[in-house]
Amino acid sequence: MFPIIFRRLALAVPLLVIVSAITSLLESFVPGDPARTILGINATQEQYDALRATLHLDKPFAEQYWLYLRDILHGDFGSSLFSGESVLALIGQRLPVTLILVIGATVLSTLVGVLLGVYSATRGRVSRRLFDIVSLLGSALPNFWLALMLVSLFAIRFPIFPATGYTPFAQSPGQWAAGLVLPVIALSIGGVALISKITRDAMLSTLGLDYIRTLRASGVRPASIVWKHALRSCGLPVATAIGITMIAYIPGTILVENIFTLPGLGTTVVDATNQHDLPVVQGVAITFTMLVIAINLLVDVLYSLLNPKVRVA
Amino acid sequence: MTAADPPVSVSSRKWTNPFAGIWRRPLTAAALAVVLTVTVAVILAPLLAPHPPLAQDLLHARGGPSASHPLGTDELGRDVLSRLLYGGRPALLGVGVAVSVYIVLGMSLGILAGYLRGWTDRVIVGLMDVMLSVPAVIIMLAVLAIFSQSNVAAMLTLGFLSAAGLARIIRSSCIALREELFVDAARVSGLSAARIMARHIFPGLVGLLLVQMCLFSGIALMVQTGLGFLGLATPPPAPSWGGMVGEASQVMEQSPSLLLISGGLIGLMSVAFGLLGDGLRDLTQDRRQGTGSRSQRPVPVAVAKDTAEASDTPPDAGVLAVRDYSIAFATPQGPRTVVDSVSFTVNTGEIFGLVGESGSGKTVTGLSLLGLLAPNGTVTGGSAWLAGRRISGLPERDLQRIRGSEIALVSQEPMVALDPNFTIGSQLSEVVRRTGAVSGGKDAVGQRVRELLSSVHLRDPDDIARRHPHELSGGMLQRVAIAMALAGSPKVLIADEPTTALDVTVQAGILDLLRSLRDERGMAIILITHDLGVVADSCDRAIVMEQGRIVEEGSVEDIFYRPQHPYTKKLIESTPSIARTEGRVA
Amino acid sequence: MTGTPVLQLDGLAVRYPSRGFRKPPTTVIEDVSFEVGRAETVALVGESGSGKTTIGRAVLGLTPVSGGRVLLDGRDITRLTGRARRALAPDLQAIFQNPYGSLNPALPVGRTLAEPLLADSTRSPREVRAHITDLLRRVGLPEDAADRYPAQFSGGQRQRIAIARAVARQPKIIICDEPTSALDVTTQAAALDLLAELQQSLGCAYLFITHDLAVVKEFAARTLVLQHGHIVEEGRSTDVCDQPQHEYTQRLVAAAPVPDPVLQRTRRQKRLELHATS
């Protein structure tokens, strides 16, 4: 188990270097002069030189990148070219919303996906056919469009939930939760389709295995065969599907946050992209990369817990 | 040789069309038609569009469908159909760009890694690991922050970063194909590496590549329209599918149909890509299995009604009696009878052989007695009786109560017959609790598990109970499987080829064990086997089956020394014997 | 046996590097030496894990050899690769255990049979076609079999196709790796008869790898018994089966059941006595 974790962590370092390098490299293509853009035309030469120095714009590219990397390792992600706000502070403030969306959607899609998958694997041909169609639509229809349909249905036609906006938890837990219902559902639709399909396929092939027949022949109860023995064997593929889903939810939040105007990293990065605010884009890119690394690590740990051969050895 | 050569194809470059047989799958064909039609229409937009995409007609804003505006107009009075046709251009251009990079890069990396192996492989795998962990969409946003509104730059980035996923799939199937026995055979035949690639490996990858291409097209379409929706890839007012969804969402309350039309088209294309991918995958699989289309449904088996009431009186002889018993399987060609009116009786305390070659119906007969036929198999006639009680045609719930406690099974492959995820002890405990009628708590169950493991002559029961199946040898696992079958003290034990997967020295031990269990417990054992040596060693009586019918029945002495049926004689003659003196080659 | 043996193994060893830190390599076979003469059948008998299949694969160049030599017709072929290894194909052939895996399911049988002939580029397509028809006839399959796919044949018929492929260029020796163990006994008997008949007419030698001593006794002139990668006994097949010398061979012979209830009862008694004394 530890070698796997070690390998993941060893991969994390070059990955962060590469992601920051790509974004920094892109920065050198920026048309015009970022310092000029930020300060406007009324700034003095001293102000201008000072800003160029803080952004390391007075140095050659390689040195710029090295200084940027050093700053990152010191926890300094620079500051927004527009608001001047510290990028780290901005991320710290916006990250929780994104995390809640990702975690909420993962929990929801895991529960619904596994239940649906097991159900359709143990029922007859008709339900299997129906399931195929629903799962295809869930995975193929664009989730921003499904999100809009949810809004038009449950916020406009039947105003049950708020269409947009975010209420901080401290202000009103009830409204906070109500505001998250539609975004979490919208985000989780593709994941439900994937997890249920993988669960169903894994379940079907497991139920055809010899040891399931042995258990049936020994008189073990069907409920125990399905939920204890067969589902346990589906652990690895299902864990993989959950990992893939969770990683897909990270960029998925970009659209969902923008549709529901939630103050998360997704809205932040789209605004920054429109404003050519590269330090913010860079900061979010690195945060997302670290999230992906963390999720992969989590899946690896889950893997070794689920595989008896690894656990014993 | 006669002058007319038979039509034998030997050409080495015969192209297998991955789309062959698509017409037998209407859904796949329809998906292909949708993709082609929409693509052609979008390409021909300047010819087909009834209006310029930007022409506003504020007098007819938000108009419904009409002769001049087949799909109506948007909030600025622009023709929706024309905008959809033109709006598909950035979407499909983006998809095309991303897919091209994805295929070219992914295939090259995958084949290089999978075929050359060694250092190239390790470097490429490392590169793939990194590429797969980079969040592609966010890098696309960074690209868009620099190359403002550049659809092509963004989609190039997507194709580049996603290519690692394809490379991984290609690499692993390349490696899997290299391990195939037929590739070894081709090497032994003297074919060069390039020829093996061309004949055996590449054709296997073409289908896979097409499937991945379709699935990735769907993903790329979603990402591109997502960008368009956020207004990042196509500057307004130029139309784009994603942008149109965005515009429609602004006026969702006033004209909900706009949202349905624009999003529906994206959905339709995306679903079509998905269906096409799935369909092509199935077609490729059918071809690899060398079968035709398998989309036909099996024709269900009809159960003869009259047999259900035919014999309600139990036969008075034997612990297990089978009368006029028939089994059929549903196949696309119609029901196929695999067991045809067989009758036999098994007595308490005897080892009864069910002997036959593959396809004789012996295993199907055994499994059906436990109610464990595959879902397309049905008992179509006759009856089976266990200790005077009819067990054929029992509902599943009653069968559950019988299985394990009245009649039990030991199957062929001990290595896969036990749940790999649980220890031997926990699996046995579950069966003991369910069938063993053990009064008392955990200790009593544990005690019973130890007893069972000792009764199959396993030396250190406590140690065995703590282990997972993969830690034991095949012979030990078969003993555990027998212990599990004994947990409910069944009257009849069905042993389906219990020693076929084992070495001959281990086989002898298992057969000894079955004989001693019969002697100690007075159980009836049905020994299903193809091996006449095993029959001669262990059985008291036996039936010989050929293609679903019983051709011979009697004591083993009768069968071996006075065979009546020619098939039995042939079987005995064909079985090699270490004790025989004459041979084929001196 | 006269002249140079067709196949000669001299101290052959195959070891795999172990996974893990500083673990010694796993030895699969060690110091295996034997010869196969012209048109001779030599059986290699062992249980699972004895390394019998590895020996066949090492001879065919499908598994890297760690030590010792393999000589074909007196020529060292141990480490031949690429073009030089392919040049052996006319003389050295193989029949594999699994007739379902050894034929590419996506190719019609005719194209699979054309493979060894394609490697020899001197033949015209017309000659190749005629040759395939002839091969199919020799192994007892209908002519139209060439246009059908492997899935349309039974296990026994597929093994006949594999046999046809192996004899296509009249090799000097064929490595038969459990060629009949996946077949039913009646099919097995027919396949063994076919192999014996082809040996008569073509004069090829067989290295016959199997787990089944009873088959060995009927089919092979000489037998080698393999245990844990070492040869423990070697001799004429009748001698090995009737008077086994090594303790392991004795156990193997005693455990093999015979299709004769009365005889088997006495054999079982003897085995149990043997077991009790050891």
C242's tokens? 């009737």
Quote the minimal CA–CA distance from B558 to chain A in Å: 33
Chain B residues whose CB is inside 8 A of the A30 CB are 146
The verdict on a CB contact (< 8 Å) between A148 and B259 is yes
Greater confidence (A167 vs B90) lies with: B90
Q: What is the pLDDT along chain A (313 residues), one digit of tens a residue?
A: 566 677 777 777 777 777 777 777 766 666 566 666 656 666 677 777 777 776 676 777 777 777 777 777 777 777 787 777 888 899 999 999 999 999 999 999 999 999 999 998 888 777 778 888 888 888 888 888 889 888 888 888 888 888 777 888 888 888 888 889 999 999 999 899 999 999 999 999 999 889 999 999 988 888 899 999 999 889 889 998 999 899 999 989 999 999 998 999 999 999 988 887 878 888 898 889 888 888 888 888 888 888 766 544 3
Asked if the Cβ–Cβ distance from C185 to B199 is below 8 Å, we say no
What are the tens digits of pLDDT across the range B211-269? 899 999 999 999 999 999 998 888 878 899 999 998 888 887 777 888 888 899 999 99
Nearest residue in chain C measured CA to CA from B577: C214
Tokens 């859904």: give the residue: B27
**B357 interface with C at CB cutoff 8 Å:** yes
pLDDT at residue B24, rounded to an integer: 77
Tokens at residue C168, please? 């296509």
The pLDDT assigned to C127 comes to 85
What is the rounded distance in angstroms from the CA atom of residue B577 to the CA atom of residue A179? Answer: 79
Residue A233 lies in a domain: yes
Contact B252/A288, CB-based, under 8 Å? no
Q: Is B263 on the interface with A (CB under 8 A)?
A: yes
Number of domains comprising chain A: 1
CA distance B470 to chain A (A): 7
- Tell which residue, A142, C85, C163, C266, has the closest CA to residue B229: A142
pLDDT over threshold 90, residue B117: no
Q: Do C162 and B5 touch (CB under 8 A)?
A: no
C-alpha span between A144 and A200 (Å, rounded): 26
Pick from A259-263, B27-31, B292-296, C134-138: least confident: B292-296
Instruction: State yes or no: pLDDT of B564 exceeds 90.
Output: yes
Q: Which of B12, B536, B577 sits opposite C118 (nearest CB)?
A: B12
Do C217 and B5 lie within an 8 Å CB cutoff?
no
Average pLDDT over every residue of C94-99: 88
**CB-CB under 8 Å, C62 with B187:** yes
Contacts of B11 (CB under 8 A, 6+ apart): C111, C125
Non-local (6+) Cβ contacts of A10 within 8 A are: none
Reply yes or no on whether the pLDDT at C1 is more than 50.
Answer: no
Q: What is the pLDDT at residue B4?
A: 40
Considering the domain boundaries, does residue A8 fall inside one? no
C33-91, pLDDT tens digit by residue?
Answer: 999 999 999 999 999 889 999 999 999 999 999 999 999 999 999 988 888 888 899 99
pLDDT higher at B210 or A9:
B210
- Neighbouring chains of A at 3+ CB pairs within 8 Å? B
The predicted-structure confidence for B271-330, as pLDDT tens digits, reads as follows 999 999 888 888 877 766 655 444 456 666 766 554 544 556 777 778 999 999 999 998
Which residues numbered 488-507 in B keep a CB inside 8 Å of some CB on C?
503-505, 507
Neighbours of A170 (CB within 10 A): 7
* 3-state SS class at B379: strand
Q: Does the pLDDT value for residue B114 go beyond 50?
A: yes
pLDDT in tens, C162-184: 999 999 989 999 999 999 988 89
Shortest Cα distance from B191 to chain C (angstroms)? 6
Q: What tokens does A12 get? A: 């994390």
Tell me which residue in B204, B573, B584 faces C196 most closely, judged by beta carbons.
Answer: B584
Question: How far is A198 from chain B, CA to nearest CA, in Å?
Answer: 14
Q: What is the pLDDT of residue C239?
A: 93
Cα distance between residue C149 and residue C157, in whole Å: 12
User: Nearest C-alpha of chain B: how many angstroms from C11?
Assistant: 23
Query: What integer pLDDT is reported at residue C20 of this predicted model?
Result: 61
**Does residue A3 sit within a domain?**
no
pLDDT band at B3 (very low <50, low <70, confident <90, very high): very low
Kindly determine whether residue C256 and residue B578, on different chains, have CB atoms separated by under 8 Å.
yes
Closest to A218 (Cβ–Cβ): which among B133, B136, B487? B487
Q: Does B310 touch chain A (CB under 8 A)?
A: no
Residue range C18-25: average pLDDT?
69
Coil, strand, or helix at residue A274?
helix
For residue C51, the model assigns a pLDDT of 92
Phi and psi at residue B341, in whole multiples of 5°? 45, 65
The pLDDT of residue B298: 65
- pTM score, two decimals? 0.83
The Cα–Cα gap between B456 and B469 comes to 16
Of chain C, the percentage scoring pLDDT greater than 90 comes to 63
Mean pLDDT score, B406-424? 91
Is residue A237 in a domain? yes
Tell me, yes or no, whether A32 lies in a domain: no
Query: In angstroms, rounded to a whole number, what is the distance separating the alpha carbons of residues B411 and B417?
Result: 7
Q: Is residue A253 part of a domain?
A: yes
Give partners of B (≥3 CB pairs < 8 A).
Answer: A, C
Looking at residue B295, what is its pLDDT?
Answer: 46
Which of B131, B141, B161, B497 best tests the A interface by mutation, with the highest count of A CBs <10 A?
Answer: B141
CB contacts of A233 in chain B (<8 Å) are 419-421
Q: Which spans in C82-230 are helix H?
A: 82-86, 109-119, 125-138, 155-167, 185-202, 213-219
- Look over chain B and give the mean of its residue pLDDT values, rounded to a whole number: 86
Token duo for residue B189: 């035949």
The answer for residues whose C-beta is within 8 angstroms of residue C192's C-beta and 6 or more apart is B584, C180, C215, C218, C219
Res. B84: pLDDT tops 60: yes
What's the CATH number where A254 sits? 1.10.3720.10
Phi, psi of A169 (to 5 degrees): -55, -45
The domain in which residue A159 lies consists of 95-276
On whether residue A50 sits in a domain, the answer given is: no
Q: What is the pLDDT, as a whole number, of residue B289?
A: 60
Per-residue pLDDT tens over the stretch B567-585:
999 999 999 988 876 544 4
Mean pLDDT value of segment C149-173: 91
B10, B185, B191 ranked by CB distance to C119: nearest: B191
Respond yes or no on whether the N-terminal peptide bond of residue B203 is cis (omega within 30° of 0): no
Confidence at residue B13, expressed as pLDDT on a 0 to 100 scale = 39
Q: To 5 degrees, how large is the angle CA A62–CA A65–CA A71? A: 145
Kindly state the average pLDDT of the residues B325-343.
Answer: 91
| C178-220 tens-digit pLDDT | 999 888 999 999 999 999 999 999 999 999 999 999 999 889 9
Most trustworthy range by pLDDT among A2-6, B48-52, B413-417, B479-483 = B479-483
Distance CA(A188)–CA(A138), nearest Å, equals 10
Within 8 A of A272 by CB-CB distance, chain B residues are 145
Residue C100: band (very low, low, confident or very high) from pLDDT cuts 50, 70, 90:
confident
What is the pLDDT at residue B11? Answer: 41
- A238 within domain boundaries: yes
Integer Cα distance of C88 and A294 in angstroms? 54
- Work out the angle at residue A242's Cα, subtended by the Cα atoms of residues A238 and A244, and round it to the nearest 5 degrees: 115
Give pLDDT, residue B96: 96
Least confident of A301-310, B4-13, C6-15: B4-13
How would residue B586 be classed by pLDDT, with cut points 50, 70 and 90? very low
What is the model's pLDDT at position A313? 36
Say if C and A touch: at least 3 Cβ pairs within 8 Å: no
Domains observed in chain B: 26-47+81-286 (1.10.3720.10), 307-406+490-585 (3.40.50.300), 414-489 (no CATH)
Is the CB of residue A227 less than 8 Å from the CB of residue B496? no
Q: Distance (Å, rounded) from C-alpha B488 to C-alpha B404?
A: 5
Crossing angle for the helix pair B241-250 and B256-288, to the nearest 10 degrees: 140
